[in-house]
Structure formats: C-alpha cells, structure tokens
C-alpha cells in the first residue's frame, strides 16, 4: 500500500507540475520572442537610418550649390585688417591695469 500511495502522490505532483511548466515555458519563450523581435526591428530601423543618411549626404553633395561654399571661404580669407584704434585701446588698458596674470 505504501508504494501505491507514493506512486499516486508522484502522479498528482506531475499532473500539476507539467501544465504549470508548459505555461511558464510558453510565457518565457513569448517574452524572449518579443525581445528578439524588438531587437530585429531596431536593427532594421538603424540600417534604414544609415542608408537614408548616406543617400542624403550623396544627394546634397551632388546637387549642392558649390559656388556659395567657395565664396564663403573667399570671404573668410579676405578679412579686413584689425582696427588699429582697438589695438591701441587694448595696449592702453594693459598699461593702466598692469599684468593681470600677477593678481
């Protein structure tokens, strides 16, 4: 009778544990599948963004107005000389204040 009672307890325990284990496994795989799906979607979005940025740079390089960029560099190269009155005023202030780094 004792082995039969032990066998009955094992059968009842397995009858409860197996369906619970299947549910836990299904939920775990569902959560893992959702995370893998989100990771794949984020990777696709990143690749799409990189391709879009590359196309944008290519089109802007091919269709960009190069004359304005060249004129901007010429304008920077042809800056007027510094104002002599400003430099004289700065020298005068330096004489009045002394060396500021010593204070």
pLDDT tens, position by position, 21-55: 999 999 999 999 999 999 999 999 999 999 999 99
CA dihedral 74, 75, 81, 83 (to 10 degrees): -170
Q: Where are the alpha helices (DSSP H) in the chain?
A: 2-63, 66-77, 84-97
What confidence tier does 79 reach under pLDDT thresholds 50, 70, 90?
A: confident
Question: pTM of this prediction?
Answer: 0.46
């Amino acid at each position: 009778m004792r082995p039969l009672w032990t066998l009955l307890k094992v059968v009842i325990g397995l009858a409860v544990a197996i369906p619970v284990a299947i549910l836990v496994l299904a939920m775990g795989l569902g959560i893992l599948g959702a995370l893998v799906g989100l990771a794949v979607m984020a990777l696709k979005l990143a690749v799409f963004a990189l391709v879009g940025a590359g196309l944008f740079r290519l089109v802007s390089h091919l269709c960009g107005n190069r004359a304005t960029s060249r004129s901007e560099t010429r304008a920077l190269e042809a800056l007027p000389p510094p104002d002599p009155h400003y430099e004289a005023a700065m020298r005068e202030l330096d004489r009045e204040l002394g060396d500021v780094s010593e204070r």
